[in-house]
Amino acid sequence: MSEATQAGWAGAVALVLASSTGGVGQHVASLARGLIAGGATVTVCGPAATEEQFRFTATGARFVPVEIPANPTPADARAVAALRRVLAAHIDLVHAHGLRAGLVATLARPTQPLVVTWHNSVLAGGLRGRASRLVERVVARGARITLGASADLVERANELGAPDARLAPVAAPQLAPARRSRAAVRAEFGVAPQQPLILSVGRLHPQKRYDVLVDAAASWRELSPRPVVVIAGTGPSYLTLAARISAARAPVTLLGHRTDIADLLVGADLAVVTSDWEARQLFAQEALHAGVPLVTTAVGGLPELVGDAAVLVPAGDVAAVDQAVRALLADDQRRADHAQRGRAQAATWPTETQTVRGVRDVYAELAPAGRTRADRTGDGEQCHRAQAPARAGDPPSRAQDGGGRG
């Protein structure tokens, strides 16, 4: 991110996130790194587990534990109080990521301008869905600027009364180079030279609809050579999926958490995304960058993201996934064409540097008087306080923010 070292907005920002195991946490780490390189001071507020996974302090940011779980609990009131204490120090601007973090930031009533990035859509039904939609409205109206990771999120925020909602695509952090050869990766899973290896990566969560992939894969046992399907990721659906794989005798292996996604992509012949909704799914971006042919559901921001570089299928349609995968596996030239188009499409996406620059421009618009790092030298942590008044009885959060790697 060498371009990000150019001078830019140099104020002090608090980046707030809830529980995250993937895309949101990586985006916050990327922002922190780029903003600090440009002269800003960054405080990251989130669950202690996010610091353990994403190491925000390694970017030069200060990290303050603020426990905001993926699901609402009465402890959200403590998260609001903890965030207020952070904002009492010199902070020019607050930027929350996701509805859960956005609600906590809104309830903290910051005196500073509040920006909220929407990364996920509310998919839950019933009481939880109604509560989450109420939170959407509160967060949309409480933020000075709402940034949507996809156009449908921007449209939703506008419908709910956001004073200023804008599209702000989130760039996928660049993967480190692969460390193993294609043959070595495939040998790990016992894949023969001519045997297809199909890869999916993401949080094991109902939104990702891995049940659809498992059911489609069960029918691929009849193919010769038989494909091997691997899914990298962890999450609440693990036991349910493991049972489904066993019952269907599907050729699917759950790999758990992996840090070698670049290696897995080197070994893969196809990538598959079966989600009910995504904005700019991280794995879809990684697959196209790597030139791995992609089959993905036509939901949320994915059609806009992939263009004609992937095979689009309806959400929840096992037969469509089955047919799309069979067609690609049977046509070497078509796979090669999709690999080429994927790389070309990926080249049109914003880079991490461009993403940081766009966010920095929003900050400068809202807090143009943010002082330079030199101006703040010697201030000390307790100076220039803008104390937010305490408000007893603020209600706890009632929304769910979807979380997940992509």
User: pLDDT tens digits, residue range 301-352?
Assistant: 999 999 999 999 999 999 999 999 999 999 999 999 999 999 999 999 999 9
State the Cα–Cα distance between residues 126 and 161, nearest whole angstrom. 23
Across the range 130-138, mean pLDDT stands at 88
- 342 and 362, same structural domain? no
Reference 227, options 266, 199, 255, 248; nearest CA is 199
| Whether the predicted pLDDT of 67 surpasses 70 | yes
Mean of the per-residue pLDDT values of the chain: 89
> Is 74 within the bounds of a domain?
yes
Position 258 in a domain:
yes
Question: Domain check: are 64 and 153 in the same one?
Answer: yes
Give the residue with greater pLDDT, 6 vs 218: 218
**Residue corresponding to tokens 């506008």:** 158
Which of 96-105, 122-131, 234-243, 257-266 has the least mean pLDDT? Answer: 122-131
Split at pLDDT 50, 70, 90, the class of 145 is: very high
Q: Is residue 271 part of a domain?
A: yes
The answer as to whether 392 is a domain residue is no
Task: Provide, rounded to the nearest whole percent, the portion of the chain with pLDDT above 70.
Answer: 89
Query: Do 254 and 199 belong to one domain?
Result: yes
Is 208 in the same domain as 332? Answer: yes
Alpha helices in 150-256 (DSSP H): 151-159, 182-188, 210-218, 238-248
According to DSSP, residue 227 is labeled P
For the segment 72-129, what is each residue's pLDDT rounded down to a tens digit?
Answer: 788 899 999 999 999 998 999 999 999 999 999 999 999 999 999 999 888 777 877 7
Residues 137, 43 share a domain? yes
pLDDT given for residue 369 in this prediction: 64
| Residue 397 belongs to a domain | no
70-84, 183-197, 357-371: range with highest mean pLDDT: 183-197
Looking at per-residue pLDDT, the higher value among 69 and 288 belongs to: 288
Mean of pLDDT values over 179-202: 96
Q: Examine residue 176 and state whether it is found in any structural domain, yes or no.
A: no
Q: Indicate the SS3 state at residue 3.
A: helix
pLDDT score of 405: 53
- Which residue in 395, 393, 381, 383 sits closest to 43, CA to CA? 381
Is the pLDDT assigned to residue 268 strictly greater than 80?
Answer: yes
* One domain for residues 224 and 287: yes
Do 166 and 279 belong to one domain? no
User: Are residues 334 and 246 part of one domain?
Assistant: yes
SS3 315: coil
Q: Verify that 225 and 337 share a domain, yes or no.
A: yes
Q: Clarify whether residues 40 and 166 are in a common domain.
A: yes
Helix ranges (H only) for 75-145 are 76-87, 99-107, 126-142
User: Do 217 and 107 have their domain in common?
Assistant: no
Element (H, E) at 95: strand 93-97
**CATH number for the domain that contains residue 322:** 3.40.50.2000
Q: Is residue 145 part of a domain?
A: yes
Mean pLDDT of 214-222: 97
For position 127, what pLDDT does the model report? Answer: 79
- Provide the pLDDT for residue 3: 41
| The pLDDT value given to residue 112 | 97
CB 39 within 8 A of CB 373: yes
Residue 372 sits in the same domain as residue 263: no
Query: Which has the higher per-residue pLDDT, 1 or 196?
Result: 196
Cα 96 to Cα 146: distance, rounded to the nearest angstrom = 10
Residue 195 belongs to a domain? yes
pLDDT interval class at 373 (50, 70, 90): very low
What's the structural domain count of the chain? Answer: 2
Q: Domain range for residue 273? A: 182-346
